Chain A
Amino acid sequence: MATSFPFMLDGETHLVTIRARRPRLVVEVDGRCYTVDEDPAADGTTRLAIDGRAYDVRRTREGDRVHVKLDTTNYSVGYQDPVTAAQHDAGGDDVLRADMPGVVVSMTATPGASIASGDVLLVIESMKMQINVVAHRDGTVETVHVEVNQSFDKGAELVSLHPSN
């Protein structure tokens, strides 16, 4: 029941919380507890021991992702601050976001337009491939966030649907 923090790894959400701090930090992930020790090491590396297993860790947070290098392997873990996460839980998916960086080739959506699930709202190009961005539900277009020839990064807001319908 305690507050927990959602982290996404390969499309799966893991709920993380803290169970205890003494004598060692105990972190709970999806209901299983792990003892954790952390010591800073040289050169910006952190020495992390999880249930006694040692890892050399480097990490950085970039937007809603935490890039983690555990020993020699890299992972990209999604994290949203709790307010944003709660908003996404409550507000549903009113905003269509870019799955990948690219540029807008053409725009069909206009604010106020009624749309049906499956309608093409805009066409984007990424890696020299043109991809249709389609409405995932019926509704009304509230805001168009990008224009033709505009480039955008992964996760950028493209089109918002009106939340009430």
Chain B
Amino acid sequence: MARIQSSIQTGAAEFRRHYAHNRRLAAELHAKQRQARFERPARDVERLARQGKMMPRERIEKLLDPGTPFLEFSTLAANMAYGGEAPGASCITGIGMVQGREVILCAHDASIKGGAWYPLSVKKIVRCLDIAIENRLPVVHLCDSAGGFLPLQSELFPDKHMAGRMFRNQSILSKMNVKQLALVFGHCTAGGAYIPALSDYSVIVRGTGAVFLGGPPLVKAATGEVVTADELGGCDLHTRISGTCDYPAASEDEAIAIGREIVAQWDVPPKWAIQRDPIEAPYYDPDELYGIIPDDIKRSFDMREVIARIVDGSRFHEYQPAYGTTLVCGYANIWGYKVGILANNGVLFNDSALKGAHFIELCNQNDTPLVFLQNITGYMVGRDYEAAGISKDGAKMIMAQVGSHVPKFTVMCHGSFGAGNYGMCGRAYDGRLLFAWPNHQIGVMGGEQAAKTLTEVKLKQLERAGDAVDQATLDKVYNETLEAYQHQLSAYYSTSEVWDDGILDPVDTRNALGIGISASLNAPPLERGYGVFRF
């Protein structure tokens, strides 16, 4: 495969401007991540230290194999919710390596409101268990949670994808022969009690670990019985009497050591063996991505320049290079794995949609995972395109993409507006993982378009009512709409709502995809076959 010939001029003023802009965005991302990960009120840190507890990230670091990566999901979940009270949605999830096995880690963060679950905590935990199911990844639960955050119970308890879904997913995993281990460092209260109970293995720390459906205050209120947490559901009760937990541990370190030893007993089922080649670093420096991504959401750029900084050796076999050129399609390798890439180089026309649908079918024929690099303003609109069947051609792309039996991955590289999001495997399309870059914006349409559209609607209303058209009113509509959109379109809002699996510094994209692809191969291919294509 030939190397992509980059036409980037690293000395050019535009490159340098973009570079400075995107470095600033990356720095802002890292600052927000640092805050979400480590900044805690002193009294919470002191309380955990007093209890002899480690911070959840220390536990994760000790559990992971040394010198191996941890792909953390949705670090900034809830960063724009609850007045910033629940950084990371008070839990940590991700894929890591324990005893050479790829596992999902799901850790409650007791340094935030005792690890209480907010609605977005539940969403984030359910999502990581969905990832475990879709990719057949064993799960290690690091339990330390006070249970649901009661003031917001209606947003986290009753619906299909709320708290109950955690335990449903745990049961499904077990039914699929996918192992789960619970390390009970702190409390597992109420529904939380089901996490160790539904895990195949559990370890509980003497003194601090406790599992109960109702904690001491609830018991006192219900029956008047006065009982300590340890008596009610401590290590000795559950490992000697109830059998709810399996292994007692005298310390968190011992619990982690036992946990690692348990994971070492697990069989390692064979992975789906897709085409793999020797690993080669990209020829072009991924750092140059900062200079490629524009500083304006409306500006387009050549996605081949992005591909060249993500794939092995910057090599790319481009499919139909002269046809439907607004969608770049082709084969490449990421960390040795053969992948099929679909990347937007402009609005999708009929030919680019047909090309995309065909290429998706080729990748399925070839058992090649798909990577979607989104920068999409949508499918082309207008009479000529409708007449040419843009809707049915877009539908073909969606049909092919949804029917894929190969794993799919999506990176939101810039804009994601309108129906293009669907064809390019947006969040609704069961991609194994979906990441966004900090510059990313998502919505039915862009902020300016929306403001213009709504101003137009307002004008029509005023004219219909026979009212005087007041430019000030129209400006107000425009500005308010734009402002609201800018807020909700931003990558930070998306990730706060767990519409993605996290924001990536662009230079981390290759690693994140490599781990995602590797993890996805733990699951066999999905059922083959497509629905009806409208020709």
Contact A20 B67 (CB under 8 A): yes
Answer yes or no: B72 CB below 8 A from chain A CBs.
no
Interface size on A, residues (CB 8 A): 19
CB pair B62 A83 closer than 8 Å:
no
Docked-complex contact B63 and A83, CB < 8 angstroms = no
Asked whether any CB of chain A lies closer than 8 Å to the CB of B213, the reply is no
Q: Which residues of the other chain, A, contact B260 by a CB distance below 8 angstroms?
A: 3, 82
Within 8 A of B (CB), among A1-38: 1-4, 17-21, 26
How many chain B residues sit at the interface, stated as a range, is: 10 to 19
Listed stretches A41-49, A64-72, A84-92; interface member: A84-92
Tell me the bound Cα distance from A21 to B63 in angstroms. Answer: 18
The residue in chain A whose Cβ has the minimal distance to the Cβ of B205 is A90
The prevalent SS among residues of A at the interface is: mixed
Q: Report whether B58 and A85 are in contact in the complex, using a CB–CB cutoff of 8 Å.
A: no
Q: Are A1 and B58 neighbours in the complex by a CB distance under 8 Å?
A: yes
Q: For the complex formed, measure the closest distance between the CB of B166 and the CB atoms of chain A, giving whole angstroms.
A: 27
When distances are taken between beta carbons in the complex, the residues of chain B under 8 Å from A87 are: 250, 254
Bound Cα distance A89, B67 (Å): 24
A41 to B64, CA, bound (A): 32
Whether B67 lies near A3 (C-beta < 8 A) is no
Q: Do residues B67 and A19 form an inter-chain contact, with CB atoms below 8 A?
A: yes
B14-25 interface mask toward A, CB cutoff 8 Å, 1 = contact, 0 = none? 000000000000
| With A2-B67, A21-B67 as contacts: A90 and B58 at CB distance below 8 Å | no
Residues of B within 8 A of A3 (CB): 61-66, 256, 260
Contact A90 B250 (CB under 8 A): yes
**Whole-angstrom CA separation of A86 from B203 in the bound complex:** 14
Q: Which of A17, A81, A86, A91 interacts with B66 by CB under 8 Å?
A: A17
Question: Is B45 interfacial (CB 8 A cutoff)?
Answer: no
The interface bits of chain B over 453-489 (1 if a CB of A lies within 8 angstroms of the residue's CB, else 0) are 0000000000000000000000000000000000000
Cβ of A1: which chain B residues have Cβ within 8 Å of it?
58, 61-62
Option from A17, A21, A86 in Cβ contact (under 8 Å) with B254:
A86
> 8 Å CB contacts to A: which residues of B33-69?
58, 61-67
- The answer to whether the Cβ of B251 comes within 8 Å of any Cβ in the partner chain is yes
Q: Provide the bound-state CA to CA distance between A85 and B258, in Å.
A: 11
Which chain B positions have C-beta within 8 A of A81?
261
> Known contacts being A2-B61, A3-B61, A3-B62, is A86 close to B67, with CB within 8 Å?
no
Interface string of B234-254 (1 = CB under 8 A from A): 000000000000000111011
Q: How far is the CB of B9 from chain A (nearest CB, A)?
A: 31
CB–CB A2/B250 < 8 A: no
A85 and B257 in contact, given A1-B58, A2-B61, A90-B251 (Cβ under 8 angstroms): yes
In chain B, positions 249-292 with a C-beta closer than 8 Å to chain A are: 249-251, 253-254, 256-258, 260-261
Taking the nearest CB of chain B, how far is it from the CB of A71, in angstroms? 28
Interface pair A91/B250, CB less than 8 Å apart: yes
User: Which residues from chain B contact A17 at a C-beta distance below 8 Å?
Assistant: 66-67
Residues of chain B within 8 A of A20, CB atoms compared: 67
- Chain A residues within 8 Å of B249, by CB: 86
Expressed in whole angstroms, the minimum distance between the Cβ of B430 and any Cβ of chain A is 33
Alpha-carbon distance between A19 and B65 when the two chains are bound, in angstroms: 10
Chain B contacts for A19, CB-based, 8 A: 66-67
Q: Which residues of B contact A21 (CB under 8 A)?
A: 67
**A89 CA to B261 CA in the complex, in Å?**
17
- A90 pairs with B67, CB closer than 8 A: no
Complex CA–CA separation, A83 to B251 (angstroms): 11
A107 to chain B, nearest CB (A): 29
Contact partners of A83 in chain B: CB under 8 A: 254, 257-258, 261
CB distance from B105 to the nearest CB of A (A): 14
* Interchain CB contact under 8 A, B257 and A26: no
Q: Is the CB of A89 within 8 A of B66?
A: no
Smallest Cβ distance from A4 to chain B, in angstroms?
A: 7
Give the docked Cα–Cα distance between A26 and B249 (Å). Answer: 32
Complex: A24 Cα to B111 Cα, angstroms:
38
A4 lies within 8 A of B66 (CB): yes
The residue of chain B having its C-beta at the shortest distance from the C-beta of A21 within the complex is: B67
- Complex Cα–Cα for A81 and B62 (A): 15
What is the bound-complex CA distance between A21 and B66, given in angstroms? 10
Within the complex, the shortest CB–CB distance from A142 to chain B, in Å, comes to 16
B window 64-78: CB within 8 A of A:
64-67
A89-B256 Cα distance, complex, nearest whole Å: 13
Neighbouring A residues of B66 by C-beta, 8 Å: 2-4, 17-19
Q: For residues 56 through 109 of chain A, which have their beta carbon under 8 Å from a beta carbon of chain B?
A: 81-83, 85-87, 89-91
Q: Are A82 and B67 in contact (CB under 8 A)?
A: no
Residue of B nearest to A91 (CB): B250
Check A90–B254 contact: CB distance below 8 A. yes
Nearest CB in chain B to that of A16: its residue: B66
CB-CB nearest in chain A for B55: A1
Query: Could you say which of A3, A19, A82, A85 has the most chain B C-beta atoms within 10 Å of its C-beta?
Result: A3
Contact sample, A vs B, 19 pairs, CB 8 Å cutoff: A1-B61, A1-B62, A2-B62, A2-B66, A3-B61, A3-B62, A3-B66, A3-B260, A21-B67, A82-B260, A83-B254, A83-B258, A86-B251, A86-B257, A86-B258, A89-B254, A90-B250, A90-B253, A91-B250
Closest 5 CB pairs of A and B: A86-B254, A90-B250, A90-B251, A82-B257, A18-B67
B interface list, Cβ under 8 A from A: 58, 61-67, 249-251, 253-254, 256-258, 260-261
- Given A17-B66, A82-B260, A90-B251, 11 more A-B residue pairs with CB atoms under 8 Å apart are A1-B58, A3-B63, A3-B260, A18-B67, A26-B67, A81-B261, A82-B257, A85-B257, A87-B254, A89-B251, A90-B250
